[in-house]
Structure 1
Amino acid sequence: MKFINFFIRRPITTFSLNVGILLIGLFAFEQSSIDLFPSITLPTLSVVISAPGLDVSTIEQKITVPVEERFNTIDGLKDLWSRSSANEAQFVLKFYWGESIDYAALKIRELMKNVELPLEAKSPQVFRWNPAEEPILRADISSRRPLVELTQLVEKKFLPKLERIEGVSKVDLSGTHHRQVLIKIDTDRLASYGLTFFHIAQALEKNNIQKQIGTFTEAKHELTLKLDGELKTLGAIEELPIVISPKKTLKLKDLAEIQLGYEKQKILSRISEETSIGIEILKSHEAATLDVISETKKHLSKLQNDFPEVKITYAKDDSIYIQTSRRILFGNFWQGAGLSLILVLLFLKSIASTIVIATTIPISIIGTFAFMKYFDVTQNVFSLAGITLACGMVVDSAIILLENIHRHHFEEGKSPWRAAVEGTAEVSAGVFTSVLTTLAIFIPIVICVKGLVGILFQDIAFTFVVALTLSLIVGFTLIPCLSYLLLKRRLNISKLTKPIRIPILEKGAKKVQDFYLSSVAYLLDRPRSAFFVISTLYAGSWIAICGLPGFDLIPLGEFNRFKIEAKAPQTTSLQETNAHTTHIEHKLKADPSVKTFATTVKDNTAKLFVDLKKPIPSLSKAQSYLTHQRDEHDQLADITLKILDHPKIDTSEGQGAPIVLVLQNADPNYREQAMIQLKQALQKVSDVVYIETNEAQTESIIQIQFLTDKLKEYGLTTSYLSELVYGSLEGLEATHLSNPATDEDWTIFIQDPKLNQASQQSIEALHQLPIITTLRGERYVLPLETFANIERKIQPLSIERTNHIPSDTLFAHLQTHRRSLQEIRSDIEQVIQTTTHFMKDITFESTLKVLNETFSQLFLALLFSIVLVYMILAAQFESFTQPISLILTLPLAAGGVLLGVTLWGFHLDVIVMLGIILLVGITVDAGILIIEYTNILRHRGMDRKEALLTALRSRMRPVFMTAITDVLGTLPMAFSSGAGAEMYQGFGVTTVFGITGATFLTLFSVPLTYSLLEDVEEYLHLKWLWFKAIHLKERTAL
C-alpha cells in the first residue's frame, strides 16, 4: 500500500522513472548489434597430426590409438571420433554443452607433450572444429582482364583491406590463378654431376634473401642494415651459380630449362557461368553479422569505383535476409500492438483509458533493449520474436489494474485517491502471481534445455522476461498514477474521456456474460452434472493431446536457395569434373526461375549454390521443384548428384546430413556386410534420399619399404629419402620471386617432367630413381630399389573409430516436404529391426540424436514448469487444493493447439513445443483472478456459490480483455511469412489457438473444479473426523 501511495503522491518522480527507462532503451536500440541468430559455437575441437610417409595401419597403431588413450582422460568429453589415413591422423572431440572449449584445447596441448609419436609425425594442430560454419557474404569478382591479372588485383588491392575489417575472422579466395617460374630438371643429368633437386632448391633459397641483419651507427645516428638479396628477374634465376665442385661452377640455365608459365589451377570458380574469383567472408565469433557485411560492402563498393572494369556480384548476402526478417518482425509487433489497443478501446469505451494502457507498450518494449545492450544480447530473429510475443501480454497488468480502479470508483463510489490505491492493492497479488507464473516457466527452459535449441531459446526467454517484468513495474507505478489523475480530472482531456458506446458489442458481451453465469450457477447446484461436464472437457483434451503430430526440430522456411553437390569418381581430373559441371550450369542458366548460381569446382567434386528469383512459400511446391531439378540433372553418367535445400540453421552438429547411423564393431567384414544391408533397408523408408556409406574402401598402392640396414650402411635416413622421392615425382616449390616491375609474386617450382610422366606409366621408373650417396669417401649414384623393397599392395583408404571402437557410418538426407523426424526415425528403427540384426551395434547421430536429446529436455522442462507454477499458486493461495483447479486447466489448451497446428500443417517442432510450455504460465492467469477474488469475497463473509458467481461476473471482462489482447498481440506472428518467419510462427499459432480454447473453457472449469475439490476436501475431512470418533469410542469402551 505504501509503495502505491508513494508513486501516486509523486507523479513527476513516476513520470521521470518511466521516461528514463524509455530514453535509455531508445539509446540502447540504436547502439545494440544486429545479427541473424544468437552466436552458436559447437563444443567441438579437432586435432590433426600429419606424418608424411606413414601408411594407414601405421598411423592407426602408432598415433591414433595412443592419442585416443590420452584424450580419454579429458573431463567433459562426450564423444571421440578419429580417422586414420595415409600421412595423417584426424581426431574430433565433442564435449558436453557448457564445457570450456578454451580450457579443453589447453588440456589437449598439455597431454600431447607426453605422447610418444613416430619421428615422422609433426606437431599436432588443435583448432575449433565447426564444419557447419558458413560465410556470411560471398562476392564474386569478374572482369575482362585475364584471370592471372585479376588474381593479382584481388590479392594485392582487395584482400588486405578486407582482412583488416573489424569482425572479419577469415577471407577465403577461390578460383585464383598465378604465374609460376618452372624449372625443368633432368634427374639423370643432375645425378651425373652428383646433384639432386635438393641442391637446386637450396641454391635458390640461399640466393633469395631479404632481411634485417643489424644496425649501423653513423654520426651518432643509428641506421638499420637491410640485406636485399632477392631474385627479381628470370635472368637472375638463369644466371644463378650452382657449385658442382670446389673447382667447377655451372649456371642454372646450363642444368635446367627455365620458363615463365602458369601454375596448375586447383580450384575453379564461376558466377552464373562467368569465370570469377570468389571472395567468402567469415566473421569472428563475437562480431555482429550486419555490421561486418555493411562494412565489407562499403569497402567493396569503394574498390569497384577505383577499378571500374571489375564487376562484383553478390552470390550470398545474409544482410538482406536479416534486414527482411527484422522488417517483418517489427511489422508484426506494430500490427499486434495496434490490434491489442483497438480491443482495449472497444472494451473500455474510453480513448483516455486506452492511452493510459498504451503507455505500457513503448516503455516495456523499448526498455527491453537497454537490458539487451547491457547483457550483450543482439537484435536477432529470436530475441525480437520474444519481444513481439510479449507485445500483447505487456498490457495485461495495466488492463486488470485500470479495470479494477474504475470499478472501485464508478461502481463502489470511492474517491479517485482511494480507488487508485485500494483498487491496485486488491488485485496486486493476483497480478503479480499471474505475471510470475508466466515468467517462471522460462526457468526450467533455461535450466533443462541445452545444446543448439537451448542457445536459441535463451534470447527469447531473456527478452520476454525483461519485457513482462518492465510491464509489471509500469503497471504498479505509472498506471495507478495516471488513473488517479484521470479520475480527478487533472488531465485536460475531457473529449478523450467521453465514453464510446457501441450497442451491438455491449449487447453481445452482456449475452456472453449471462450465458456463463447462468450455466455455472446451474452446474454449481448439481455436482454430478458438474463432474460430468468437467470429465467430458478433460477427456476431449486428452484425446486432443494424443492427436498432436510427431516431433521435429527447427522448421524449414521459405524456399529461395538450394545447393547442388556433384561428385565424380576418385580418379577424375579437375578438367573432367569441370566439363560435367558446365552441363549443369547450362541447364540452370536456361531455368527462368533461377536468379544466380555460384560454382566451385575442386578435384573430383563441384558445389553450386543457386538463388531463385522468387521464394517458393510452400514446402510441397519446393519439393516438386527440387524433384524436377533432380530429373533434369540425373542424366550425367558416372556423376553422383545431390540437390538439397539450404536451411539457415544446421541441426546436424556439423555431421553434414540429418540422418547419420554409426555402426561400431571390430570386425571389418561384419561392418562391410552391415553397411550393405543398412543401405538397402533405408531405401525402403519414405522421405529418405541420397543414402551413402563410408565403409572402409580400399585402394591399390605402391608401397616403398625402406631397408634399414642399407640406409645405415650409406648414412641415409627415411625422412631424407621420403622427401627426395616425393619431390622427384611431384615436384617441389622452392621459393618465391617478387617482380617489382609488375608487383607480382611468382612461385619457383622445380620438376622433372620426364620422370613425372614415366612414373605415372611404369613402376620401373620408380625402381630406377637415382639416389646420390657417399660411402667411405666415394660418391655413388644408386637406384632407389637398392634401398627399398617396392611392391603393389591393397590398403584401406582410411580407418575410422568412434569412442575407441572401429566404425563405419551411413549418411542420408531428407525430402524438403516430409513427415516428422519422429515418424521417420520410428520407421528407420522398425525397418532395421525387421530386415537386419545389426540394431544393437547402431548409434543414431546428427539430427536424430539431437531430436531425442532435445525433446527429453523439453518434456522435463514442461514437467518442471507445471510443478513450479503449482508451487507459486500454492504459496499465493496458502492452499494445496485450490491450485489443483488451475493446474487442471492446462490440458484445456490442447484442443486449440491441435486445431492450430493441423490448420497450419505444422509438426510438433521445438518452436511449437516452446509455445506449449509458455501456455502453462498463461493458461492459469484467468483462473488466478477468479480464485483470488473469490477468496477475498469469502473472507468478507460471502458464501461459496455467491462468491464464485460474483468473482466470475467481476473478473470476466478483464479475463476476456487480457486473453484477447494476448491473442491479437501474437496473431500477426501466426499469419507471418517471409524471411525468418518459420522461427517464430509456431509460437504465434500455439498461443493464439491455445489461449483462445483455454480461456473459454477455463471460465467453466475453474469455478466447477474449485467447488468440487472443496466438496471432496470437506468430505474427506468429515470422514477423517468420523474415523477418529469411532477410534476414540473403541478405546473408551476398552
Structure 2
Amino acid sequence: MKAAKSFLTHRPVAVSMVFLAAVVFGLLSYQGLPVTLMPELSYPTLTVRTEYPGAAPEEVENDISRRIEEQLGVVGGLRRMSSISRAGVSDVVLEFAWDTAMSDAVQETLEKLDLVLLPDSAERPLILRFDPGLDPVLELSLSGEDERFEGEEGLRRLRRLAELQVKRALEPIDGVAAVRVRGGLEEEIHVLLDAQALQRSRLSVQQVIDRLGQENINVAGGTLKEGRTEYMVRTVNEYVNLDQIRATVVATVEGREVRVGDLAEVRRSHRDREILTRTDGGESVQLDVYKEADANMVALADRVRERVGELDLERERARARGETVERPRNLLQRLTGGSGGSGGGRSPSLGGATLSTDLYRSEGAVLTVVSDRSEFIEGSIAEVRNTAILGGLLAVIVLYLFLRNLVTTLFVAVSIPISLLITFAPLSAASVSLNIMSLGGLALGIGMLVDSSIVVLESIFRCREEGDDLVASAIRGAKEVRSAVIASILTSIAVFLPMVFVEGIAGQAFGDLGLAVVISLLASMAVALAFIPMLASRRGWTLPERGGAAARLRRYAAWEAFRRDAAALLGWARSRNPLIGWPGLVPALAFISVRLVVGSVLELVAKVILILLAGLAFLIVRLIGPVLVKSFTWLSRGPLIVVRRLLEWLSGVYPALLDRSLRFPVAVVVVVAVTLWSSWWLLGRLDSELLPEVRQGEFTIEVSLPVGTPLSETERTLAAVESAILEEERHIDRLLVTYGYDVTNTQRSDEGEHTARFKVLLGPVQATVEDEVVERLRRRFESIPDASSRVSRPVLFSFKTPIEVEVHGEDLDRLQEYGDRVRDLMAAMPELADVETTLKRGAPEVQIVYDRAILNRYDLQTSVVAQMVRNQIEGFEATLYNLRDRRIPIVVRLAEEDRRSTDQLNGLVVNPGGERPIPLHAVADVAVGEGPSEVRRIDGKRVAVIEANLGAASLGGAVERIEEVLANGIEWPADMSFLVGGQSQEWQRSSASLWLALGLSVFLVYVIMAAQFESLLHPLVIMFSIPLAFFGTLVTLYLLDVNLSIVVFLGMIMLAGIVVNNAIVLVDYINRLRARGLPRRRAIVGAGLVRLRPILMTTATTTLGLLPMALGLGQGAEIRTPMALAVIGGLVASTVLTLIVVPTIYEIFERLREALSFSRERIARPATANAEAAGPAGAVAPQVSRP
C-alpha cells in the first residue's frame, strides 16, 4: 500500500498517462456505440405467415394455424405463441425470451415447419423476422408531380416504380426485415370471359386457364453441336403483346377454332382496389420499412436514407454514359417534397430524394421520407446528453460556491469528464447502446461522480490545514477517507446486483442503466483515490499572480512570441518581395495566399496561418487570462457571499439543534415513526403504470364505418374530414391517410374496405397542444354517422394498448357474445377510452353449402365445383406476361356484368360441356350470412381480446375497476374465463420482482456496511436514512402527481445506495473522533459540524446534476423526469433528516448498548463476588479443630 501511495504521488506522469489512455479508449468507444431510444423492450419475435387463398377464418384456423402451433410449441426459448387466422391468411407470432439466439430459433422453426402437413392449395409458410403488427421504422411516400402520374395509368406507373426500383433497393439493406408497398394500382392483364359465349361453346373457365398456361412458355431444349459451334436450343414462345393472347386457340368446336378473343375481352388493367393511400391530400404510394427484431433502429434509418440518396445518383451515372437526362426544374423542392401535386404546398418533409420514374430517365416522381422514428430517438438521446452536460456544469458551479477556490473546484470537476469517458469503453464491450436508460444512468450519476472526489479533496485540505506538506497531506488525506469512499461506492453499486431477479420489461430496461451507473461509479472511485491525490500533491497548482513584475514579464514574453512568429512570416514574404514591410504584412498574406492557392500549395498556407494564429492566441491568453479570472471572481462574489453566510449560519444553528435532539431523542423517534407511517399512507394513494406514455409527436386515428361499406364510399364519406384537417389544423405537419386494408397487415382485426387510418405527424408542439389536437380530431370523427374511431400512439414494446382483456372460450359464437358483453361494460367505464374487441362480425358473405348426394348423382366432386366457382368469381392467375423488366399476372375470370348479383351466382353452370347445363342452385344452397372477422389464439386457446386506452384513470386503478366490474357484472360459465393482460399484466409481473429487488438491495447495503464497520449496530443506524429517503420520494411523487412506474422504482433502488453515503461518512467520522478519545456526545456534535459542508456539497451537486433531467424538457422527457424526481425528492429529504436523525439514533443505540452492558455487568458482579469469596479455584477450606 505504501508503494502504491508513493507511486501516485511521485510518478505523476505515469498516473496521468494511464488515465489518458483510458479516456482515449473511452472516447473511441463512445463514437462507435449504437444509438437506440430504449433497450430492446419488445420481446424478440418471429412471424410465420401462410397464405391460404379463398379460405374463411375458421378454415384457416383449423387447416393452417392449429397444425403450425402444434409443431412450433416446443421451439426452444419460446415465451408466448399467438395466432391470427383471417380470411386467406394465417399469422403465427412467436415471442421469445430476450436472451434467445434468434438465428438458432429461426433454424429450429424452419425444421419444425418442414414437419407440418398443409393443404395443397396453401402457400409455403414464410418466416418474417418482425411482428407485422408493430409500427414501421420509416414510412416513405412516392408521388407524382406531372400529368403522367395522373389517372389509373399514372398510379400503375407509381406502383411499378415502388416495387421494381425502390423496394428492390431497400430490401437488401442490413437490418431491413421487409419493405411493404401500399397504395397505387397493381398491374394485371385481365381476360374477362363472357358467360354466354362460354356456354354456347361448351367450354369451361379452367380450359381457358390451362390453354393460356400451355401456350405462354419458354423451355430449354438442351444443346446442339454443329461443327465447332455449340448451340443452346430454346423454345421461345412467350406472349409479347395482347393480340397474341387474343389469338390463342382454346379448342375446336364443331370444326371451328374458338379463340380467346371470341370468348373474352383482353385488356391491361389492375387488381381490384382494396387500399388507397394519400399523403397530404394527394394520392401516393407508401412504402413501410420494417426492421429485424435485433436491428439498430437509428443505424438502419441512416442506411436507408443513404440508399435513398444513392438512388438519385443513378441519374448522374446515366448522364456519364451519354444518355439525355433532364434535371428537375426546382431541385430544392424535389428534395424536400414541398411542391407538386401530392405535396400540397405543405411544410418540408423530414428528408427525401428525387427519384426517376423509369429507372434513370423519367422525371416527375418524388420519393420522400415522411415518417422516421429514428429522428425522435436521436432527439431524445441528444436531450439526455444535453441534460447530463448541463447537470455537470451546475454541479461544478455548486462546488465552486462551496469551495470558493477556482483551482480546487477544477480539481474535483475534472473527475466528471474523466469518469464519464472511461465508462464508455466497458459499455461498448458489454454491447450496451446509447439509449435513454444508459445515458439516463450517467445523467443520474453525474452528481455522484464528484462525491468521492469531494470527500478525498476535503480530507487532503484539512490535513494541509493541520500542518502537513503537499505530498504528506495527499497521502494521509486519501488514507483517512479511503475506507469510507470504498464503502459508499460499494453500497451504491450493491443495489444493482439484485436486478438479476427482476423479471419482465423492468429487468430488461434496468440492465443498461445499472451497468452505466456501476461502471461510472467505479471509474469515479479510481479518479478520487488515484488521480485527485496525484493532482493535490503537485506544486504550482495555484492561481496565477495578477500584478507586479511577474505579470509584466509574462505579458512581455507573450508579445515576444507573437512578434517572433510575425517576423518569421514577414521574412518569408520579403524573400519573395523585398519591398514588403510591417504595414504590408496583411496584404502580403492575402497576396501570398492567392499565389499559393493558384499554385496548389495549400499545405504551406495552412502552416503559415497556424503559426500566426498560435502566436496571437498565446498573446491573448497571456494578456486577457488574468482579466477573465478576475472578472469571474468579481461576478461570483455575490453568490459566494450568500453561500458563505448560509454555511456560517448553519454552522451556528446546526450544533445547537443537534444537541437538543440528542437531549430529547424521544421526539426524534416520534418524527421517524410518523415519517414511516406517512410513507405507507402515501404509497397506497399513488397511481401506477408500466411506463409513462412517451409523446413522439405523432398519433394514428383508426376509423370504422359499417361493415360492408365499399372502398369508394369510405373514401367519399371521409374525404371531407381529411380536407378539413389539412386546412384547419395548423399544428399538423404531415397527414398520411390509408383507406381500405392491406391483407398483409394484422394491426386491426376488422380491417376492410370500410376502415381508414389517419396518421398525423405534428410539428414541434407541447404535449398539451398534442392532446388538444387529438380531442378535436376525435370529436370530428364522432360527428360522422355510424362511424367509430380510436386513437393509438407509437409504443416502446410489444403491448400496443395499456389494457388487454383476454376472454377465453372454444365456442366462437359464445366467445363473441361474451366478448361483446365485456366490451360494453368496459365502454361504460370512465376510466377507459377507445374500447374495441378483436372478435367482430365479419363482412357479409355468400355461403355455399353443397348437397353431396346431388353432386354424386351428377358425378361431380365438391372440390372441383368449388374451384370452378372460385375461377369464375375471383379469377385465377393463368400465367405471367413478360413486359421488359417485369412480369404481369394474366388473370382469367368472368366479366363484371356476369358476377354482380347472387342471382347470377346461383345461375353459374357447374358442368360446362355437359349435354344439359346444371346451375349452381341445383346442387347447393346459396345463402347470405356472416362469419367472424378473425379467429385469434393465444398459447393454443381461442380468445377474444378487448383492447382499451386509459381514460380518466391510471393503469393500476383501471385494472382494479375492470376486475371488479367483470367479476360482478357477468356470470361466467365453467368453460369461459377472462384475464386482464397487456401492460397491466407486465406491470404486476415487474412490480413484484422490483419490490423483491428493492428489499435485497437494502439487505446488501447493510451487509457491506456491517463488513466495513465490523459492527452490526452502526450499519443499522445508517439504514435509517433509507426509509427517510423513500418518504421524500413518495411526497414528491404525490405532490407533483407522478405515477408509480418502472422508472420510479429504478430511481428508488438507486436511492437506496446513494442516501447511505452521507450517513456512512458521518458515522465513520464519529467513530474516528471517539477513537481519538473524545466523549461520545462531543464526538457526535463535532463530526456533524465537520461533515456538514461535505454532506451539503454532495447533496447539492447530485441534486443540481439531476435538475435539468427533472425539469422534463425535450423529447423523451416522460421517461427521464420521474426517475430524476424520485432521486431528488428522496435525497433532499434524507439529507435534511439524516443530519438530525442518524446522530440521534446513533446516540440512542449507544445508550442501549451501554445499558445492556451495564445490566450484564450488574448480573455478573454478584457471581464474581461469590467466586472471590470462595477463594481460589480448587482451594480447600481450612478445617477448624474443636477442643
Do these two structures clear the TM 0.5 threshold for a shared fold by scoring above it?
A: yes
C-alpha distance in 1, partners of 2:33/2:1013? 42
Q: Does 1:607 align with 2:757?
A: yes
Q: Against the structure 1 CA distance between its residues 1011 and 906, is the aligned structure 2 distance closer, same or farther, given a 3 Å change threshold?
A: same
Offset of residue 385 of structure 1: 1.7
Query: Aligned to 2:899, what secondary structure does the other structure show?
Result: helix
Q: Against the structure 1 CA distance between its residues 898 and 47, is the aligned structure 2 distance closer, same or farther, given a 3 Å change threshold?
A: same
Offset of residue 919 of structure 1: 0.7
Q: Does 1:732 align with 2:876?
A: yes
Q: Does 1:322 align with 2:377?
A: yes
Q: What residue identity is the alignment partner of 2:796? A: I
Offset of residue 529 of structure 1: 4.4
Name which of 422, 441, 445 aligns with 1:367.
Answer: 422
Name which of 369, 388, 399 aligns with 2:443.
Answer: 388
1:14-38 Cα distance to aligned partner (Å, 9 max, x none) = 1111111111122222222223333
Q: What residue identity is the alignment partner of 2:757? A: K
Offset of residue 572 of structure 1: 1.5
Q: Does 1:1008 align with 2:1144?
A: yes
Confirm or deny: 8 A CA contact 1:558 1:615 kept in the other structure: no
Name which of 554, 572, 577 aligns with 2:709.
Answer: 572
Confirm or deny: 8 A CA contact 1:657 1:811 kept in the other structure: yes
Q: Against the structure 1 CA distance between its residues 125 and 5, is the aligned structure 2 distance closer, same or farther, given a 3 Å change threshold?
A: same
Name which of 826, 830, 833 aligns with 2:964.
Answer: 830
Q: Bigger shift: 889-898 or 666-675?
A: 666-675
TM-score (norm 2): 0.78
Counterparts of 1:429-828 in structure 2 under 5 Å?
429-445=483-499, 447-485=500-538, 488-489=539-540, 502-547=640-685, 549-558=686-695, 560-591=697-728, 592-602=730-740, 603-618=753-768, 622-642=770-790, 644-650=791-797, 653-654=798-799, 656-666=800-810, 671=815, 674-695=818-839, 697=841, 701-705=846-850, 707=852, 719-740=863-884, 745-753=887-895, 756-757=898-899, 760-766=902-908, 768-771=909-912, 783=918, 789-792=924-927, 796-797=931-932, 798-815=934-951, 818-828=952-962
Q: What residue identity is the alignment partner of 1:985? A: T
Q: Bigger shift: 458-467 or 198-207?
A: 198-207
1:224-248 Cα distance to aligned partner (Å, 9 max, x none) = 7666443222233233344549997
The match for 1:21 is: 22
Confirm or deny: 8 A CA contact 1:523 1:530 kept in the other structure: yes
Q: What residue identity is the alignment partner of 2:759? A: F
Gapped regions of structure 1 (runs ≥ 5): 773-778
Q: Against the structure 1 CA distance between its residues 543 and 378, is the aligned structure 2 distance closer, same or farther, given a 3 Å change threshold?
A: same
The match for 2:410 is: 355
Q: Bigger shift: 514-523 or 248-257?
A: 248-257
C-alpha distance in 1, partners of 2:102/2:375? 32
Q: Against the structure 1 CA distance between its residues 627 and 409, is the aligned structure 2 distance closer, same or farther, given a 3 Å change threshold?
A: same
The match for 1:775 is: none
C-alpha distance in 1, partners of 2:703/2:386? 41
Confirm or deny: 8 A CA contact 1:430 1:929 kept in the other structure: yes
Aligned length: 1014
C-alpha distance in 2, partners of 1:107/1:633? 47
Q: What residue identity is the alignment partner of 1:512? A: L
The match for 1:428 is: 482
User: Percent of counterpart pairs with the same letter?
Assistant: 25
Gapped regions of structure 2 (runs ≥ 5): 313-352, 357-362, 547-625, 741-752, 1174-1187
C-alpha distance in 1, partners of 2:487/2:454? 15
Q: What residue identity is the alignment partner of 1:749? A: V
1:259-306 Cα distance to aligned partner (Å, 9 max, x none) = 223332332111111111112222334443333323433443453446
TM-score (norm 1): 0.89
Name which of 276, 288, 292 aligns with 2:300.
Answer: 292
The match for 1:415 is: 469
Q: Does 1:377 align with 2:423?
A: no
Name which of 139, 142, 154 aligns with 2:162.
Answer: 154
Confirm or deny: 8 A CA contact 2:699 2:792 kept in the other structure: yes
Q: Against the structure 1 CA distance between its residues 472 and 247, is the aligned structure 2 distance closer, same or farther, given a 3 Å change threshold?
A: farther
Offset of residue 755 of structure 1: 7.6
Q: What residue identity is the alignment partner of 2:40? A: S
Q: What residue identity is the alignment partner of 1:641? A: S
Confirm or deny: 8 A CA contact 1:332 1:976 kept in the other structure: no
Q: Against the structure 1 CA distance between its residues 267 and 968, is the aligned structure 2 distance closer, same or farther, given a 3 Å change threshold?
A: same
C-alpha distance in 1, partners of 2:186/2:382? 44
Query: Aligned to 1:702, what secondary structure does the other structure show?
Result: strand
Q: Against the structure 1 CA distance between its residues 917 and 831, is the aligned structure 2 distance closer, same or farther, given a 3 Å change threshold?
A: same
Q: Against the structure 1 CA distance between its residues 763 and 246, is the aligned structure 2 distance closer, same or farther, given a 3 Å change threshold?
A: closer
C-alpha distance in 2, partners of 1:381/1:980? 8
Q: What residue identity is the alignment partner of 2:1125? A: V
Q: What residue identity is the alignment partner of 2:433? A: T
Offset of residue 479 of structure 1: 0.9
Query: Aligned to 1:16, what secondary structure does the other structure show?
Result: helix
Q: Does 1:279 align with 2:276?
A: no
C-alpha distance in 2, partners of 1:781/1:1027? 121
Counterparts of 1:31-110 in structure 2 under 5 Å?
31-47=32-48, 78-82=79-83, 91-95=92-96, 98-99=99-100, 103=104, 106-107=107-108, 109-110=110-111
Offset of residue 493 of structure 1: 5.1
Offset of residue 874 of structure 1: 1.4
C-alpha distance in 2, partners of 1:372/1:224? 60
The match for 1:344 is: 399
Q: What residue identity is the alignment partner of 1:792? A: A
Query: Aligned to 1:912, what secondary structure does the other structure show?
Result: helix
Confirm or deny: 8 A CA contact 1:136 1:283 kept in the other structure: yes
Q: Against the structure 1 CA distance between its residues 829 and 963, is the aligned structure 2 distance closer, same or farther, given a 3 Å change threshold?
A: same
Offset of residue 920 of structure 1: 0.5
C-alpha distance in 2, partners of 1:1027/1:712? 112
Confirm or deny: 8 A CA contact 2:130 2:290 kept in the other structure: no
C-alpha distance in 2, partners of 1:93/1:374? 30
C-alpha distance in 1, partners of 2:452/2:784? 65
Confirm or deny: 8 A CA contact 2:60 2:88 kept in the other structure: yes
Confirm or deny: 8 A CA contact 1:42 1:129 kept in the other structure: no
C-alpha distance in 2, partners of 1:443/1:566? 48
C-alpha distance in 2, partners of 1:430/1:188? 98
Offset of residue 430 of structure 1: 1.1
Query: Aligned to 1:906, what secondary structure does the other structure show?
Result: coil
Offset of residue 480 of structure 1: 0.9
Query: Aligned to 2:1010, what secondary structure does the other structure show?
Result: helix
Q: Bigger shift: 393-402 or 142-151?
A: 142-151
C-alpha distance in 1, partners of 2:678/2:726? 55
C-alpha distance in 1, partners of 2:654/2:1025? 17
Q: Against the structure 1 CA distance between its residues 758 and 610, is the aligned structure 2 distance closer, same or farther, given a 3 Å change threshold?
A: closer
Q: Against the structure 1 CA distance between its residues 35 and 79, is the aligned structure 2 distance closer, same or farther, given a 3 Å change threshold?
A: closer
C-alpha distance in 1, partners of 2:99/2:33? 25
Name which of 1099, 1103, 1114 aligns with 1:978.
Answer: 1114
1:398-420 Cα distance to aligned partner (Å, 9 max, x none) = 1111111111122x212222211
Confirm or deny: 8 A CA contact 2:1021 2:1145 kept in the other structure: yes
Q: Against the structure 1 CA distance between its residues 312 and 92, is the aligned structure 2 distance closer, same or farther, given a 3 Å change threshold?
A: closer
Confirm or deny: 8 A CA contact 1:679 1:691 kept in the other structure: yes
Offset of residue 607 of structure 1: 0.6
Confirm or deny: 8 A CA contact 2:39 2:435 kept in the other structure: yes
C-alpha distance in 2, partners of 1:546/1:55? 50
Confirm or deny: 8 A CA contact 1:151 1:277 kept in the other structure: yes
Query: Aligned to 1:395, what secondary structure does the other structure show?
Result: helix
Offset of residue 82 of structure 1: 4.6
Query: Aligned to 1:165, what secondary structure does the other structure show?
Result: coil
The match for 1:267 is: 275
Q: What residue identity is the alignment partner of 1:612? A: L
Query: Aligned to 1:615, what secondary structure does the other structure show?
Result: coil
Confirm or deny: 8 A CA contact 2:376 2:696 kept in the other structure: no
1:53-88 Cα distance to aligned partner (Å, 9 max, x none) = 766666666666666565665566555545566666
